[in-house]
Structure 1
């Protein structure tokens, strides 16, 4: 049996014949540098694969444990194997994501809450149909500050550092310094409600999506709109997300991937049966257009997609109503629905203790 290439690169020769062969193969199997090369060959650091270990992991078996953990996690994502934590309640409550226990209730908005974002370790920002944005202390439950400027419901917010971007029914988006509780810019140009907003990782571009069927890119420093992308559909742009030079947007049941620099359409993704309300983009290799999109909407399904192949990897079923908010990282997807439930789909589990969701 031939040795794999990574063994040759370490200068490891073919084991001798029995009876020493079993001992030598065992020694090879425990060689941590060999597992490190195996991890590199397998590209296990690609999202959504875990790349870290707990402190209890043995230093001598570090890369072997990483390989095994990531292999299991990758298979779980591919097969839709996960443990589902269900949290029931209203959107102005804070829950422990590990146990599902209620931690805090925040009361102060007079109408429905449409978006929330964490701010540091102990603060939360929320926006509401009542036209206000509130900053909360999570531990005490107190409202620290209420921001007024929009003349209609605030449908969407996004935060990067101390900068907050909000989008409203009043056809504008606004940039705020939430540390100083100060309005910095009003972004005017849309001819209908702004339903979706985002900020790029370099904090230089503000992104808005509107019922006027356009996506606009704004200079965060001076507020100039330097690009307009017309989505080309007959319905509103309901969600936008920018990551590593690409934009994902949704309009009706269609997801579109755009090149942020040129405004060119890269690919479309079809599979939802009703309007998509939210999505998140995560590029892992922008040069080769490789990454993932998670989306959800009025059909109650949470889907995640292979960007390069243009295919839906899995459909997660469990919500009984519209899913209007999602977030995902390497290990889990969190989704919130009109059915008053938050579900956390945790893929970092052993295969013997998981739920298997139907594919597509």
Structure 2
């Protein structure tokens, strides 16, 4: 098969489409013929040498795919060869085939195109696990989503609205603000012109930025608020005012998805299937795809992601 190989850490030009050994499913795994993958910030960090894959994961980037089951490893039940599926990965999605634990495989939701389904597993599992399983967002509460035009942002807006929350989101342009309002955002805040703190307080904040926003995020939290930090685009180190945090009886929770144990990922995937998939199949939540790019041109897709002009997911098609 072919896969995108990272020759050495660097800019997008280090990504190359090369022949590599075919994977084989181990016990409990499924082999998928990949139809599409999706580009995530973690892939860019891996390309730069800042986010190596976990032990045992394929060396190629890619945290999610869609496709068809090609082979079942020993001890796998509930799936059949030919099933259209999408899957959450530890890595290896930028390839023509990938082996993945069966517990991280989801059926393509009814009514969703199999290619577009490639952009679902990472965002659905990230948003559901952080905003709802850990953050405990409830109907009637207010969610602040940083980066509303991103894949995570577009999905979080829709899912929170579908479950009865009020949603505020930060954006970098009038175009993205309009798109986010179309998806259900009640308030959009252009971070180049306005301060999100004054539109609070917020019961839950989903933050991709990290250090740069930490102090203002804490300022913006409601009493009993929950700050879920899932990214470091604005740096990794900042001072935390613990007195303010105590006064608000608030929570700051930092989390990643890729390195979680198999059992935790299986629990998240099962929860997503039960709670999120019905909303996709009913049309209450939909996939937002910015564009499709051939996988062999992954370097182009990475440049687009780094330019931050997209809305939703950038997909790589085989």
TM-score range, shorter chain: under 0.3
Name the one with the larger helix percent: 2
TM-score normalised by L of structure 1: 0.25
Name the one with the larger strand percent: 1
Higher RCO (C-alpha under 8 Å, 6+ residues apart) = 2
TM-score normalised by L of structure 2: 0.27
